[in-house]
Structure 1
């Protein structure tokens, strides 16, 4: 009897081992192109966490391997996923503003200062209004994100009134930020965020538009010590996580469903929460180091709203370009969803 029990136990162990080996052999590995450093919080707290979640959700049948270096420049990452150069990529929709004009609304001023609520609201809006648009074909969108509202940062003075921006050279990115600065009397200087330190040190710019966390993460804390926090954000930026559509379709239905349990709304919430945590931590650090934080005057707030209203009106008028029949309804849905999520 004991010998039979031992034999049965050995058979069970052998079967389990074989099954485990089979999972390992048959596992699908997805390559992920990442263009921020391995120590950046988006790598450690968002992308690697999502990759681990995918492996766990699929019980090891799908793994995500982050490539040692990106396979293209940041603006190329949507196309890199669409063409299958990398299986999974992430990036900024603003890097291709004309292509993704349907999403401009989420980057308008006064649109939100809670990254988690904004990101989930944007995902819900994409699913309801945009997921079937030709712009998004060729990839499966796995999540979106915003950073919770950008601020105005200056190296030498407080920005409180509209006049404070006159003739100030401000680093920025994207058409919305450019128009904002131009109509408020500033001189926009287009450059990627990571270049802000060099631009400030060389005197090319006087200030920069960034989320609070970037002042620290882009090593600019010694050069940007005056910060103007605009309630509900001076602007924002929209991001994506995407997988090549053909690669996605080759996965089993069970694995696709499993991956979506940790993607979509789940990923968008993770993205926004991490940004909110980074913002809170940066505020504490900068205040401890004597940085000056300012509130816009009523006149500056009125000017921001005036410019924002003009940008919004022009964007709505261009609806034929981005194929949304009723963009006002889409924006209303997004803003109501954001308010409800922020209140919870």
Structure 2
């Protein structure tokens, strides 16, 4: 009987203690402007958050918001204003604000999402503290998307000259400049409006990875897709904590975040975009979309045409007091270290 009473007492104390234990958990809000089933949320943010929650034994939790508090370009300012604790966004949505961080946005820098994401993070880890582009935030990850294609609803792009006079929807400032230099007329539209714009003839095509074409329901209007070997461009995404939210974590919680961030986020991005493109291309093939590939000669011509963008970036780096040549060389070195098509199982 004594043992039974002790058991009842212990159970009662445990039941009373549960709410107090739950109160010890810190829950951070993650601002999100994409649907919960988008691969950035489902394939990158959710696994990242789950790994940290597990690592901390539940003392740190994340609540990923399901409704945006503002448009994509406003995300960094919303983070600084403490509208949420953790946020993510596209660097190119804020032209001129994250110039140095956008080194991977330059033409032909990212051959695949593994190399692009890893190089983006490693380069930022080495030089980013000097940039001062994310003051007020603590950056825990950078990543890039997979290779974009030129997806056409009207006409086909078999050679570079076929871009002349075409209106192409773009997402960021660097992408728009690239299309302009190649002879197209860039137009910035939300991806949710791309299908309508192309079906009405407002735009002839769109630059997007295959995953995004399917996700945003653009597949039905696409007739041909032109691949650009070497990766014409990419967008650099950031993941960051508000500085005050970061400083409010315990040392153990910060260590858990660090363990599952940085290169871990880059790897998640590589998996997510690769798998997403595979699925997207399956849907495009089912639609009977024609796949083309720009010739080696045209790729060489495109590199030459777009070389001023690199020169301008180097000049901007110099104006800011940075050794752009060293940063660019390091980024390219990291790309070679992490590119997915690197052959490693042969004798040299």
TM-score by length of 1: 0.92
Aligned to 1:212: 210
Post-superposition shift, 1:155? Answer: 1.1
After TM superposition, the structure 1 = structure 2 runs for residues 29-178 of structure 1, keeping only pairs within 5 Å, are 29-178=27-176
Q: 1:331 aligns with which of 328, 331, 334?
A: 328
Change (3 A) 1:60 1:304: same
Residue in 1 aligned with 2:263?
Answer: 265
Matches within 5 A, 1:187-266: 187-266=185-264
Measured after TM superposition, the shift of residue 118 of structure 1 is: 1.5
Q: Is the contact made by 2:219 and 2:287 (CA closer than 8 Å) also made in structure 1? A: no
Give the alignment's Cα RMSD to 1 decimal. 2.1
- Provide the rounded CA distance (Å) in 2 between the counterparts of 1:187 and 1:96: 20
Show structure 1 runs of 4+ deviating over 4 A: 6-21
In the TM superposition, residue 336 of structure 1 has moved relative to its aligned partner by 1.4
Asked if the contact 1:184/1:303 (under 8 Å) is kept, the reply is: no
Unaligned runs of 5+ in 2: none
Q: Which residue of 1 aligns with 2:26?
A: 28
Deviation of 1:300 (Å): 2.0
CA distance in 2, matches of 1:20, 1:312: 58
Matches within 5 A, 1:2-13: none
Tell me, in whole angstroms, the C-alpha distance in 2 between the residues paired with 1:264 and 1:10: 48
Q: Which runs of 5+ in 1 are unaligned?
A: none
| Residues in 1 aligned to 2:194 and 2:129: alpha-carbon distance in whole angstroms | 34
**Residue 175 of structure 2 aligns to a residue in which SS?**
helix
User: Counterparts of 2:29 and 2:262 in 1: how far apart (Å)?
Assistant: 19
CA displacement at 1:150 relative to structure 2:
1.3
Once the two structures are TM-superposed, the CA of residue 14 in structure 1 deviates from its matched residue by 6.8
TM-superposed deviation, 1:217: 0.9
2: CA distance between counterparts of 1:197 and 1:187? 17
Q: Cα distance, 1:48 vs. partner?
A: 2.1
* Structure 2 counterpart SS, 1:37: coil
**Alpha-carbon contact 2:155-2:204 (below 8 Å) kept:** no
